[in-house]
Chain A
Amino acid sequence: MKKQYVTMTINGREYRFSIGTGYGEVPPSETLSETLRKRLQLTGSKESCSEGACGCCTVLMDNRGVTSCMLLTCECDGKNIVTIEGLEDPVTGLDPLQQAFIDEYAFQCGYCTPGIIMAAKSLLISNPHPTEEEIKEAMSGNYCRCISQYTVLRAINRVAGNGEDHTAVMHRANDDVVDPIPVRQELFPSPFANGFDNGNTLD
């Protein structure tokens, strides 16, 4: 049998994989997600549903976001892959998206975050100034169950140059207080500890 190889550029470095079932070879059934996570230790992207529904395994392939659990490595010959680990520029530092995700606290558990950032990056590469609606549509293939969607949209809108996103608002009642009373930190006294007598007894 003729030896088969696939060559890929992953995060700027060229890799050549031998396809086959021998020791150390990439079997034809191996997914890109498995190759990245298990062979190359690029564990940033996650494999959650293994059927392309959650977007946790999203990476860039030739600047387009793809779900790496749905692609076979042997079919990725000649492709240029960028994972979350390759997004940070060694010279200029974090990608603006990554910085915006920190500034807007656009994650909670952080498990789906790498996939979400790569999906957003894919959108911004093809469309650097998407509208709010375009952003929502583009992100709708990504699963997040902690519900960081509102803050993710804030972060992406900021990078897209759309100004502040007000889909979710938190209003602090203290902002309504006219002429508030700032005091030094007090340690223990409480105005509430004893409650008030409203006639409810145990008997």
Chain B
Amino acid sequence: MSKMNYRDVKQPNYRHIGKYMPRKEARDIVTGKAIFLDDFNVPHQLYGKTKRSPYPHAKIVSIDTSKAEALPGVRAVITHKNMPEKWGLGLPVHRLLLEDKVFYVGDLVALIAADTVEIAEEAIDLIDVEYEQLTPVYSAEEALKEGAPELYPRFKGNHVDNGIKYFQPDGPWWQIIRGDVQKGFEEAAYVAEDKVAFDKMPCPLAPETPCCIAKFEGNNEYTIWASSQSAHILKLMGEGRIPGSNLSVKTFNVGGSYGNKQSLMTTVLSAAMLALSTKRPVKMVLTKEEQLMAYEVRLGSTITAKIGMDKEGLVTAVEGDWLVDTGAIADSVQGQVGVGLGEAQLVCAKCQNWYMDSHIAVTNKQQAGIVRGYGGQELNSCLERLMCTAMKEGNFNPLDVFKKNYIAPGDRFIWRDGRWWQSRSSLFFPEAMQGAADRFGWGEKWKGWNIPTRVEGNKAYGVGMGVIGNADINEDNTEAIVRIVPDLVGGHRASTAIIECDITESGMGTRSNACKVVAEVLNVPVEKVFITEPGTKFNPSNYGLCGSRGTITTGKAVSLAALECKKKALELGALYFKRSVDQLDTKDFNVYVRDNPQLTVPMFKLAPKELSIVGYGKHMEMFNIPSCMAVFVEVEVDLETGHTRIVKMNGGTDIGQIIDSKAVEMQLHGGFGSACVDTAIFEESILDPSTGRLLSSSLIDYKWRTFNEFPPYDAYVMESQIDSFMFKALGIGEISGAAGASAVLMAISNAIGVDVKEYPATPAVILKALGKA
């Protein structure tokens, strides 16, 4: 079968799609009028604060809250002794919100509600707690050893359940077992075996800290206002933790999330429990220190594996064991492991022989949670270092190897639901990698393995690349309703279209993009399309913006709803004009005869009096359209100091169809944020093993990239019109920086001529590799 040329892809001319349009809330954002949760208050609200554990693992011997309770303005103090209800944490539930034990520094000891934040903070110090310290364990490897201190009775030997029903409806799935590994290694010309760790559990660190307001409505019903990127996920998880409850979740503009602010479970349950006790709304806003020390971070990941590669550079076998450190609370980690294993198969898609096992452990560190990259980045950062070792054995150019091995239409893989899927995504991923490589100058800059591109005095320059993909981009079901609301008093100019879909805006512009999609289908100006306020109670169901699913899933639901709307309008027009539907079209809330456009009728004359024209659309989950992102980096390493600087970065992808040109560009830039690329050189949570506390618990101590350190970034974007939904687009943000960390380590290794496999490659790591320290 001959392959299609990119030139032959028909590029449609859309009225709105593909062009930049200022977001609906743009003016509110630049004038300071946009409301985030901390800008919002509820009448009669109290303020919640938490007393947190100073020890990583300890038993609470005694706790005295009498002084705190006596402080004027304190309305409730809740400890494990007087919890009104026993709410659990984790998936599966393995502990209570408050226990007579603490499992990480920052674990909950007491909840306080008071009239002001200041009174609540004062009350924290008035609670006397006596602890008996227990032996902590800080890594998955140590935790899974025999005789290691056991955290929870639910997890024998600290081993978290492999897979859970929610993510894997046919039964747990946590291993890739395919083909015959032994045969695969026999076919291999080159075999590499190593252990690589990506285990510093960096923090995605959204600027807005996690926060919520909880109100008890009686009858086990709660209203939760939260800084969550997905009201639906919060409702789903919260109702599972508060037995028999019904949560109405409302969201605002979210000040950054990067997948990290979804269920906010410990914070929401704390506020809800205080609300239940006091019968008043309770607002709880974490401080930056709490976010850094006690909120959710990236998984810790260690992989020991063996990879076989044949003479052509195709991966023939992968055998290994993936250790996952989920910190002290295991919450949806099984989904991340499933996605990580799935993404490994996308990068090594031609490999038919796998035995890849995984083990998840709880440790006495802060909880790992969901973060952009969702298991894939954590595994990829290790696996691609191993692929590099095999490529080096065969002296391959990594660009050729990644192009050959990446998933193409027809290739099969097992995704996180444990089911087989076959890709029907783009044919052009290898072209996208090549296009980005050409713009980067890979041909001239790549000199071979562990060979610098050039050396100038103390500065050595090297290049590296990485590739990652994600098939989660059409996960989970979504539904939407679109209504054409004709003007009541006549005049099509006042008509509007309303989208009913639960979409929270956390920076991606998806609310505006949904309006754009509907405007395109109905052929109306985008300014005439509006979308309902986010919230679970009155909107059709939408899982939320996670896994970069927003583009396809909400895009499909709202476009199909708009199409049904349009069809109904055309049917009404057909009766009016006494012509066939096929002869009609819509524009700006009119129906007109296509071949005779002066025959036009405004929709307000067609719709039943006072009523609107309604359409419904839905998206059903599937995992057969993987995305792809290739990253190229050039680094400069100072051979004297070991300091690394990223000189330039390029990205390449086939995005199907651009919905908004500037929005997609920033999704690609986002790979520098949320603990992605920079986890290779300076981003890490630094644990003091003698106390179990983080040394990087403030925005000054935790390192982040500043404005003056951003290197040139060049993106190469193809639009091959992938069969995802009406507008042929797919989501990319999840993985835009996910292969960046492994690419940077490859570049550093090439610059200094020594393999570096430690994240992050700080000056100390590089000097050690150079034998200078």
Identify the A interface with B (CB < 8 A).
37, 42-51, 53-54, 56, 83-85, 87-88, 94, 98, 101-105, 107-114, 117, 133, 136-137, 139-153, 166-174, 177-178, 180-188, 190-198, 200-202
Q: Which of B207, B664, B671, B707 is A140 in contact with, Cβ under 8 Å?
A: B707
Q: B714-725: contact bitstring with A at CB < 8 Å (1 yes, 0 no)?
A: 111111111100
Q: Is the CB of A168 within 8 A of B435?
A: no
Q: Is the CB of A200 within 8 A of B411?
A: yes
Q: Provide the residues of chain A in CB contact with B664, threshold 8 Å.
A: 170
Q: Is the CB of B204 within 8 A of A98?
A: no
Q: Provide the residues of chain B in CB contact with A193, threshold 8 Å.
A: 424, 723
Report the nearest B residue to A104, measured CB to CB. B662
Q: Is the CB of B205 within 8 A of A145?
A: yes
Q: B25-36: contact bitstring with A at CB < 8 Å (1 yes, 0 no)?
A: 111011111111
* Whole-angstrom CA separation of A178 from B5 in the bound complex: 13
* Whole-angstrom CA separation of A37 from B37 in the bound complex: 13
Would A53 and B410 be within 8 Å (CB), given that A145-B204, A147-B670, A150-B713 are in contact? Answer: no
Q: Which of B406-422 contact A (CB under 8 A)?
A: 408-412, 420, 422
Q: Is the CB of B698 within 8 A of A48?
A: no
Q: Is the CB of A94 within 8 A of B30?
A: yes
* Whole-angstrom CA separation of A194 from B4 in the bound complex: 13
Q: Is the CB of A177 within 8 A of B39?
A: no
Q: Provide the residues of chain B in CB contact with A43, threshold 8 Å.
A: 32, 35-36, 38-39
* Whole-angstrom CA separation of A143 from B203 in the bound complex: 14
Report the nearest B residue to A152, measured CB to CB. B707
* 3 cross-chain pairs, A with B, having the tightest CB-CB distances, nearest first: A44-B32, A111-B255, A195-B409
* Whole-angstrom CA separation of A14 from B668 in the bound complex: 45
Would A98 and B207 be within 8 Å (CB), given that A170-B665, A172-B658 are in contact? Answer: no
Report the nearest B residue to A138, measured CB to CB. B707
Shortest Cβ distance from residue A37 to the other chain B in the assembled complex, whole angstroms: 8
Shortest Cβ distance from residue A21 to the other chain B in the assembled complex, whole angstroms: 11
Q: Which of B30, B717, B722 is A113 in contact with, Cβ under 8 Å?
A: B30
Q: Is the CB of B10 within 8 A of A192?
A: no
Q: Is the CB of B425 within 8 A of A192?
A: yes
Q: Provide the residues of chain A in CB contact with B29, threshold 8 Å.
A: 107, 110, 113
Q: Is the CB of A136 within 8 A of B409?
A: no
* Whole-angstrom CA separation of A107 from B670 in the bound complex: 11
Given contacts A105-B22, A200-B412, 8 further A-B contacts (CB under 8 A): A51-B698, A87-B31, A105-B23, A108-B670, A109-B255, A111-B208, A112-B255, A168-B714
Q: Which of B33, B207, B288, B674 is A50 in contact with, Cβ under 8 Å?
A: B288
Report the nearest B residue to A177, measured CB to CB. B7
Would A146 and B666 be within 8 Å (CB), given that A109-B507, A111-B255, A195-B424 are in contact? Answer: yes
Q: Provide the residues of chain B in CB contact with A152, threshold 8 Å.
A: 707
Q: Is the CB of B713 within 8 A of A168?
A: yes
Report the nearest A residue to B30, measured CB to CB. A98
Q: Which of B8, B30, B34, B207 is A145 in contact with, Cβ under 8 Å?
A: B207
Q: Which of A37, A146, A153 is B670 in contact with, Cβ under 8 Å?
A: A146
Shortest Cβ distance from residue B168 to the other chain A in the assembled complex, whole angstroms: 19
Shortest Cβ distance from residue B736 to the other chain A in the assembled complex, whole angstroms: 9
Q: B243-268: contact bitstring with A at CB < 8 Å (1 yes, 0 no)?
A: 00000000001111110000000000
Q: Provide the residues of chain B in CB contact with A177, threshold 8 Å.
A: 6-7, 11
Report the nearest A residue to B668, measured CB to CB. A170
Shortest Cβ distance from residue B639 to the other chain A in the assembled complex, whole angstroms: 26
**Of B12-20, B132-140, B686-694, the one with at least 4 CB within 8 A of chain A:** B12-20
6 contacts across the A-B interface (CB closer than 8 A)? A48-B288, A142-B707, A168-B665, A177-B6, A191-B9, A192-B409
Q: Provide the residues of chain B in CB contact with A136, threshold 8 Å.
A: 707-708, 710
How many A-B pairs with Cβ below 8 Å? 273
Q: Is the CB of B8 within 8 A of A46?
A: no
Q: Is the CB of B32 within 8 A of A114?
A: yes
Q: Is the CB of A109 within 8 A of B31?
A: no
Q: Provide the residues of chain B in CB contact with A112, threshold 8 Å.
A: 207, 255
Shortest Cβ distance from residue A100 to the other chain B in the assembled complex, whole angstroms: 9
Interface size on B, residues (CB 8 A): 101
* Whole-angstrom CA separation of A132 from B157 in the bound complex: 56
Q: Provide the residues of chain A in CB contact with B661, threshold 8 Å.
A: 170, 172
Q: Is the CB of B207 within 8 A of A147?
A: no
B352 at interface, CB cutoff 8 A:
yes
Shortest Cβ distance from residue A121 to the other chain B in the assembled complex, whole angstroms: 12
* Whole-angstrom CA separation of A173 from B428 in the bound complex: 11
* Whole-angstrom CA separation of A50 from B700 in the bound complex: 11
Q: Is the CB of B254 within 8 A of A181?
A: no
Shortest Cβ distance from residue A203 to the other chain B in the assembled complex, whole angstroms: 10
Q: Is the CB of A109 within 8 A of B12?
A: no
B704 at interface, CB cutoff 8 A:
yes
Would A111 and B256 be within 8 Å (CB), given that A139-B707, A140-B707, A168-B712 are in contact? Answer: yes
* Whole-angstrom CA separation of A165 from B55 in the bound complex: 49
* Whole-angstrom CA separation of A85 from B32 in the bound complex: 6
Q: Is the CB of B699 within 8 A of A143?
A: yes
Shortest Cβ distance from residue A175 to the other chain B in the assembled complex, whole angstroms: 10
B333 at interface, CB cutoff 8 A:
no
Shortest Cβ distance from residue A40 to the other chain B in the assembled complex, whole angstroms: 12
Shortest Cβ distance from residue B283 to the other chain A in the assembled complex, whole angstroms: 12
* Whole-angstrom CA separation of A88 from B29 in the bound complex: 12
B622 at interface, CB cutoff 8 A:
no
Q: Provide the residues of chain A in CB contact with B14, threshold 8 Å.
A: 185
Q: Provide the residues of chain A in CB contact with B423, threshold 8 Å.
A: 195
Chain B CB within 10 A, most for which of A104, A140, A172, A202: A172
Q: Provide the residues of chain A in CB contact with B208, threshold 8 Å.
A: 46, 48, 109, 111
* Whole-angstrom CA separation of A191 from B29 in the bound complex: 41
* Whole-angstrom CA separation of A92 from B721 in the bound complex: 44
B492 at interface, CB cutoff 8 A:
no
Shortest Cβ distance from residue B448 to the other chain A in the assembled complex, whole angstroms: 28
Q: B353-381: contact bitstring with A at CB < 8 Å (1 yes, 0 no)?
A: 00000000000000000000000000000
* Whole-angstrom CA separation of A160 from B731 in the bound complex: 34
Q: Which of B38, B411, B723 is A47 in contact with, Cβ under 8 Å?
A: B38
Q: Is the CB of B663 within 8 A of A105?
A: yes
B583 at interface, CB cutoff 8 A:
no
Q: Provide the residues of chain A in CB contact with B209, threshold 8 Å.
A: 48
Would A108 and B508 be within 8 Å (CB), given that A53-B698, A195-B409 are in contact? Answer: yes
B587 at interface, CB cutoff 8 A:
no
Q: Is the CB of B7 within 8 A of A180?
A: yes
Shortest Cβ distance from residue A156 to the other chain B in the assembled complex, whole angstroms: 10
B427 at interface, CB cutoff 8 A:
yes
Q: Provide the residues of chain B in CB contact with A42, threshold 8 Å.
A: 32
Q: Provide the residues of chain B in CB contact with A87, threshold 8 Å.
A: 31
Q: Is the CB of B1 within 8 A of A197?
A: yes
Report the nearest A residue to B736, measured CB to CB. A147
Q: Which of A83, A140, A169 is B715 in contact with, Cβ under 8 Å?
A: A169
* Whole-angstrom CA separation of A131 from B34 in the bound complex: 31
Q: Is the CB of A174 within 8 A of B410?
A: no
Q: Is the CB of B717 within 8 A of A173?
A: yes
B568 at interface, CB cutoff 8 A:
no
B672 at interface, CB cutoff 8 A:
yes
Q: Is the CB of A181 within 8 A of B10?
A: yes
Report the nearest B residue to A179, measured CB to CB. B7
Would A171 and B716 be within 8 Å (CB), given that A48-B209, A192-B424, A195-B422 are in contact? Answer: yes
Q: Provide the residues of chain B in CB contact with A153, threshold 8 Å.
A: 707, 710
Shortest Cβ distance from residue B740 to the other chain A in the assembled complex, whole angstroms: 12
Q: Provide the residues of chain A in CB contact with B662, threshold 8 Å.
A: 104-105, 151
Q: Which of B1, B30, B708, B714 is A139 in contact with, Cβ under 8 Å?
A: B708
Q: Provide the residues of chain B in CB contact with A147, threshold 8 Å.
A: 666, 669-673
Shortest Cβ distance from residue B644 to the other chain A in the assembled complex, whole angstroms: 19
Q: Is the CB of B699 within 8 A of A54?
A: yes
Q: Which of A144, A167, A172, A198 is B207 in contact with, Cβ under 8 Å?
A: A144
B726 at interface, CB cutoff 8 A:
yes
* Whole-angstrom CA separation of A45 from B33 in the bound complex: 10
Q: Provide the residues of chain A in CB contact with B350, threshold 8 Å.
A: 200
* Whole-angstrom CA separation of A51 from B288 in the bound complex: 9
Q: Provide the residues of chain A in CB contact with B726, threshold 8 Å.
A: 187-188
* Whole-angstrom CA separation of A88 from B698 in the bound complex: 34
Q: Is the CB of B412 within 8 A of A105?
A: no
